Amino acid sequence: MTELRDFMQTGGPALWAIAALSVLTLAVILWKAWDMARLGAWSRGPSDAAIAAWQGGAGQGALSPLAGRNGLRARVLRRAIEARLDPAMPDPAAREETTRVAKGALMQARRGLRVLELIATIAPLIGLLGTVLGMIEAFQALQAAGNRADPAALAGGIWQALLTTAAGMAVAIPASMAHSWYDSICEAVQADLEDLATRVFTHRGE
């Protein structure tokens, strides 16, 4: 524990800030994985069964596979079918209602992605700032030493300054990878929602 504290103090405030970002990054990545699973981002079975029943002419019966389901696809598909079956709702209004629900579902799926994107952007910048400040300090010490400057001490100051850049990149890389992965999942979900809605509105279902 003492060694870790000494290491953190070597990097200065920038390294402490990056350490806090690393904890936040891990927490957001784990939370987002749980959130995606809770939202059914990888679950297509019930919606596929419902759309097959709808295209088979089941009408109201197409809602049965979606009963008790609250995933992204299930919510949008349920609302699309209900709107389509509602005689008081004309087709344009039903489409608008489905679009509204789909947009809300996608916004929910993208929660937390901005945080990962921000971390991937600012972590290297904080690391670079720490390095620049460390280099300034090292060269100030070199100037003060004059002819008595110790090259070994200067090298030590430089590598300590570079620690923050390396740490910033170490945090930014997994944050950027996680952001890209979750973003690709959201894009796949969006494509599925568009496909499901189109299949509902191009078949009467009864």
Over the range 81-118, which residues count as b (16 or more CB within 10 Å of their CB) and which as e? bbbbbeeeeeeeebbebbeebbeebbeebbebbebbbe
- Could you report the per-residue pLDDT of 75-122, keeping only the tens digit for each? 999 999 999 988 888 888 989 999 999 999 999 999 999 999 999 999
State pLDDT tens for residues 49-58. 999 988 888 8
Q: How does DSSP classify residue 68?
A: T
User: What per-residue confidence (pLDDT) applies to 31?
Assistant: 96
pLDDT of residue 14: 82
Smallest Cα–Cα separation from 199: which of 95, 54, 99, 71?
54
For residue 6, what pLDDT band results from cuts at 50, 70 and 90?
low
Exposed e or buried b per residue across 155-183, where buried means at least 16 C-beta atoms within 10 angstroms of its C-beta = eebeebbbbbbebbeebbebbbebbeebe
The mean pLDDT of 148-155, rounded to a whole number, is 57
pTM: 0.83
Q: How many CB atoms lie within 10 A of CB 70?
A: 11
Task: For residues 69 and 46, give the distance between their C-alpha atoms in angstroms, rounded to a whole number.
Answer: 8
**Angle subtended by helix axes 91-109 and 72-85, to nearest 10:** 170
Average the pLDDT over 141-163 and give the result.
Answer: 64
Percent of the chain with pLDDT over 90: 49
CA 29, 40, 38, 93 dihedral sign is: positive
Name the more confident of 55 and 161: 55
| pLDDT given for residue 88 in this prediction | 86
Split at pLDDT 50, 70, 90, the class of 152 is: low
